[in-house]
Structure 1
Amino acid sequence: MTDLPNTKPPVWFWIIAVIALIWNAMGVMQYLAQAYMTDDFKSQYTAEQLEMINNTPAWATAAFAIAVFAGLLGSLLLILKRRFASTLFSLSLLGIVLQLYHNLIVIDTMEIIGPIAGIMSGIILIFGILILLFSKMASRKGWLR
């Protein structure tokens, strides 16, 4: 198997990579706010919603952490033009799917939080899929080494 020559990515590659980095950094910030139960985080939720969050099983919390931290590292590697970014985005997508399973199937957050939970979950899933596909395409085009 031969490696493709390392070609220069177009400007839109960098735009997407920076958007991915910002998106995943926001995910990490949300995870840390939830993990540390900051006052700002708690002010966004009702007592019932906070109880639901406090009762989240460890596996779902771990899935959240894996999703956001693997996504952030994948984004950094994408900016550094490293092929391993796709592996991290795959791991991130797995974390997203596990977390969404918990949130939408196990506890039905749409009933507790409302339709915004389903909308945001869909956006997160779509972004996870698209950034994974983007990283694989970038690798095929020889933009990643």
Structure 2
Amino acid sequence: MTQQQNAPWHLWVVGIVSLLWNVVGAYDYWITRVGSQRYLQIAGVSRLELIWLANMPWWVDVAWACGVWGSIAGSLLLLLRRKLAATAFLLAVLGMLATNFYRMTSDAPPSMTGTAADIISLVLILIAGALTWYAVRMRRAAVLR
């Protein structure tokens, strides 16, 4: 068994920044799912997008939730120095991949497809992937318990 190491300063920076970053996504998910009309109007979500979101299959909503809440859990577990942080971040990546697979293969509104939407999705997946990699590295370095 390896001896647990002290947490490096960057663990706290990555943990706090990732938590703040992921809270934004969690807020967006939550407010979209509860249907806050004011937020959706401010965010510029069209009626066509709302209809598409309301009619997506249950498994896409589960995947979206895994992406959002897996990211939040990963950030919190990282700050708590728990090995499960890597698993939570991996769950988030898988959820994001599934959600984007559906978006790219469904009849999503034009505003949710195309180069800009693909770039945004790719950036989000890359960030979650980088957080997964970081958590794995911290686990291997015996920083996480």
Could you tell me whether the CA contact under 8 Å between 2:15 and 2:79 is conserved in 1?
A: yes
Could you tell me whether the CA contact under 8 Å between 2:78 and 2:85 is conserved in 1?
A: yes
**2:9 maps to 1:11:** yes
Alignment correspondent of 1:27: 25
| Counterpart AA for 2:107 | I
- Counterpart CA distance in 2 for 1:133 and 1:101 is 22
For structure 2, which runs of at least 5 residues remain unmatched after alignment? none
- 1:56 aligned counterpart, secondary structure: coil
Q: Which moved more, 1:38-47 or 1:51-60?
A: 38-47
- Counterpart CA distance in 2 for 1:33 and 1:116 is 23
Identity within the alignment, %:
24
Alignment correspondent of 2:68: 68
Alignment correspondent of 1:121: 121
- 1:137 aligned counterpart, secondary structure: helix
**2:60 maps to 1:82:** no
Normalising by structure 2, what TM-score? 0.89
The size of the alignment, in residue pairs, is 142
1:11: how far off?
1.3
- Counterpart CA distance in 2 for 1:112 and 1:73 is 30
1:42: how far off?
2.3
1:83: how far off?
0.5
For structure 1, which runs of at least 5 residues remain unmatched after alignment? none
Q: Which moved more, 1:132-141 or 1:98-107?
A: 98-107
| Counterpart AA for 1:63 | A
Q: Which moved more, 1:21-30 or 1:39-48?
A: 39-48
Structure 1 consecutive aligned stretches of length 4 or more whose deviation exceeds 4 Å:
none
